[in-house]
Amino acid sequence: MDYGFEISGHMREERSRREDLFDRLYDGKPVPHIPIEIKVSAPEYKARDYYFDRETQFSDAMKSALATWGMKRNDLIPSLFPDVGCGCLATIFGAEYYFGRNENQTAGVKEPPIKDLSGWAARAEMPDILGSEWIREGLKRIKEYAEAGRGFLPVTGLDAAGGVNVAADLLGVQSLLMAMIFEKEAVHKLLSVIQGTWLALIEKETEAAGGLDNMTSVDFYPGWSPPGYKGHCSDDISAMFGPGMYEEFSAPYHAAIYEAYGAGGLHNCGPNPCHEAYVAHELSPRYLDLMEDYSEKDLPKLKKSLKRKAFIRWGSDDKDIERIEKRFRGYMELLAPDVILVPSYTLPTAEEGDELYGRLYPIAVEYAKRMDFGFDKGPGRQ
């Protein structure tokens, strides 16, 4: 898959500028403006094709990346996402994908494969990573996408989720939550095996990508993270329990990823009942990536819990430029000088992206001037 795109001197200078901007942000140093991440994308495929047809997925990813580089101004470092589904790690443990009638829906797990957790835990062993066809396909895509990106377009890791997210796929959400109360030892055994399997998979992903420097992070997140902050974890299931559960069943297993690859990001679409626990442990994430639709109501409490501890990368499906501008100003008024919110939007054309950037940039400059930069907590670069 050689798309033969040209890497101009301007593109290299811009990538260096964008890397420096995020380097400073992650290290808590003052920046001239809060980064604004805008992706250009107007996919013409159905979600099911996205999984099964590697060429369709790659073609769309490359078209989007190059269109994004075509914007006049941007702070996003475009990346390529080799996506084989957010249940891919669960398929290593025998889970099967299920596709509904709607061809634009993502795949789910057909049926939780673990019926007797305690019995499974008693005989548990590390599974064969390459026994899953989806993992084999994912590694193949990482290698091909990285080669096509030529060291300039980074690739993401697979959307492997890890931790309690995968445990929920393997047991079912209700069974997992009950087991967290009545079968704690077995849950810890399961989480230990899941995270060990994910760490082994990350090694294979990194090799396929040609090195960690060619990746945005070790997880699915498309936003680039600097060296030393490549660790990233997903924990959407934590929206369903409290901080005590998070401290026992989430934080220690995230720490295994952060210790190996740096305490970069933590994803939860939202809501965030565990917001204080996110940043209470020794290896706290440097940023949270959250979704506007599910986390907007949490911003007042995140202002308190994240102050001088972490920033926010803010995903949204909104495409109304005037509304986005108004909301971003509102976020600045709420969060400054305590917490930075990095806006991330996707628009259909580079022209619309340029208009949005032009509207948000003055706010981003003002936001930076208002901020109290620096972090009081967190391990910094690994």
For residue 375, is it within any domain?
A: no
**DSSP letter string over 158-226?**
-----HHHHHHHHH-HHHHHHHHHH-HHHHHHHHHHHHHHHHHHHHHHHHHHTSGGGBS-SSS--S---
For residue 381, is it within any domain?
A: no
Q: What pLDDT shows up at residue 307?
A: 97
For residue 257, is it within any domain?
A: yes
Collect the ranges in the chain with pLDDT lower than 70: 1-4, 377-380, 382
State the pairing for strand pair 97-98/108-109.
antiparallel
Q: Total domain count for the chain? A: 1
CATH number of the domain encompassing residue 267: 3.20.20.210
pLDDT digits (tens, 9 = 90+) for 254-300: 999 999 999 999 999 999 999 999 999 989 999 999 999 999 999 99
For residue 3, is it within any domain?
A: no
pLDDT digits (tens, 9 = 90+) for 326-353: 999 999 999 999 999 999 999 999 999 9
For residue 2, is it within any domain?
A: no
Q: What pLDDT shows up at residue 2?
A: 53
Q: What pLDDT shows up at residue 51?
A: 85
Q: Give the C-alpha separation, 67 to 265, whole Å.
A: 26
For residue 379, is it within any domain?
A: no
For residue 270, is it within any domain?
A: yes
Q: With b meaning 16 or more CB within 10 Å and e meaning fewer, what string describes 67-96?
A: bbbebeebbbbbbbbbbbbbbbbbbbbebe
For residue 1, is it within any domain?
A: no
Query: 303 lies in which domain range?
Result: 9-370
Q: Give the C-alpha separation, 332 to 336, whole Å.
A: 5
